[in-house]
Amino acid sequence: MTIDINFVGLIIASIMASSVPLILASCGELITERSGVLNLGVEGMMIIGAISGFALMTVTGNLFIAVIGAMLAGVLISTIFAFLTQTLITNHVATGLALTIFGIGISAMIGKNFVGIPGKEFPVLFGNLKDAIPFLSPILFGHSVVFYFAFALPFVTNYFLKKTKIGLIVRAVGDSPDSASNQGINVRLVRYLCILYGGAMCGLAGAYLSMIYTPQWIENMTGGRGWIALALVVFSTWNPIKILIGAMIFGGLTIVQFHMQAIGVRIPVQFLTALPYIVTIIVLVVISRDSRKIRLSTPSSLGKSFYKDN
């Protein structure tokens, strides 16, 4: 088979499109975790975003309202988590799991009336340039605004955490809430905001799935992507750029294994299907093997409740 560069461009574009929800959810969760809060409710927040976006799109017909609404729905459900873990000081892990169960259940309930309805076409940017440049065009042009946002996000997040004062505050709160509190930082407020931000990004990730990637609503349509996003945060050692790499590898192998099947490569299909999970972990472990750096970027008080600061 001859390798056609346009074909490669198309594949890369598919890979990028499939990694968008992972990047969004992981970058959101990253900020939450850097502030010292472990929210295992990513899957739940995503599915809430998915149904809210789809429902609003169907009812109002306005895509802008639907996208914003999905993010607000993510914020709303993460407020419950924030209230429980920060104000009532409940256990992060248990509350996060409950949030996922709650999200899946309530989305199914709301979604009952939206099954079997086709979604609307989501507008793309630079669609007229789709064939302008070989190879590069399918990668750069003809995508939704959420797509471009997702690929800017890891860099913005990196800059935010490393170079801005607020980023420093978030990291301080995650590493040593006591010292941060002694410096006059309102630890609880910072953590609240980081949780809500994470909720908004997960909501957006869900909306991308139900409105742009596969415009439809069916129950459990996030299909475990929330858990993969969570794993990416950990394996990338809380580094947004590595999240981008991990998400691309994961999405990439999922798609490449389908291509290998279609070409007829004689490798057991079960192995091919497991490949994305295995390789993503190996690669992220290898690129993150510097233990000093891991210690620096791991939020030291991740998942620990903070009692003072009343």
Partner 1 sequence: MHKIFIRSFVSSLVFLFTFTVASVAKDVKAAFVYIGPTGDHGWTYQHDVGRKAVEAAGYKTTFVEGVPESADAERVLRQLANSGHDIIFTTSFGYMNPTNKVAKEFPNVKFEHATGYKREHSNVSTYAARFYEGRTILGTIAGSMTKSNVIGYVASFPIPEVIRGINSFTLAAQKVNPNIKTKIVWAFTWYDPGKEAEAAKALIDQGADIIAQHTDSTAIVQIAEKAGVYAFGQASDMDKFAPKAVLTSVENNWGPYYVDRVKAVANGTWNQKDTWHGIGDGMVVISDLDSALPADLKAKVNQLEKDLASGKVHSFTGPIYDQKGNLMVAEGKTADDGMLAGMMTYVKGVEGDIPK
The residues that touch partner 1, with contacts defined as CB under 8 A, are: 7, 10-11, 14, 18, 21, 40, 97, 100-101, 104-105, 108, 111-112, 115-116, 118, 209, 213-221, 223-225, 227, 254-255, 258-259, 261-264, 266, 268-270, 273
Q: Least distance (Å) from partner 1 to the CB of residue 13?
A: 10
Quick one: 7 or 151, whose CB is closer to partner 1? 7
**Identity of the residue, 108 or 193, whose beta carbon is nearer to partner 1 in the bound complex:** 108
Least distance CB 218 / partner 1 (angstroms): 5
- 97 alpha carbon, distance to own chain's centre: 17
205 contacts 79 by C-beta, under 8 angstroms:
no
Token readout for 280 is: 């993503």
31, two tokens: 């900020």
Nearest Cα to Cα of residue 19 among 107, 147, 200, 126: 147
Min separation Cβ 169 and partner 1, Å: 32
**Closest to partner 1 by CB, 115 or 129:** 115
Question: How many angstroms separate the CA atoms of 277 and 148, rounded?
Answer: 25
Name the residue nearer to partner 1 (CB basis): 51 or 244.
51
Residue 33 or 175 having the CB closest to partner 1: 33
What is the DSSP track for 139-199?
Answer: HHSSB-HHHHHHHHHHHHHHHHHHHSHHHHHHHHHHH-HHHHHHTT--HHHHHHHHHHHHH
Q: How near is the Cβ of 274 to partner 1 at its closest, in Å?
A: 10
| Shortest Å distance, C-beta 162 to partner 1 | 32
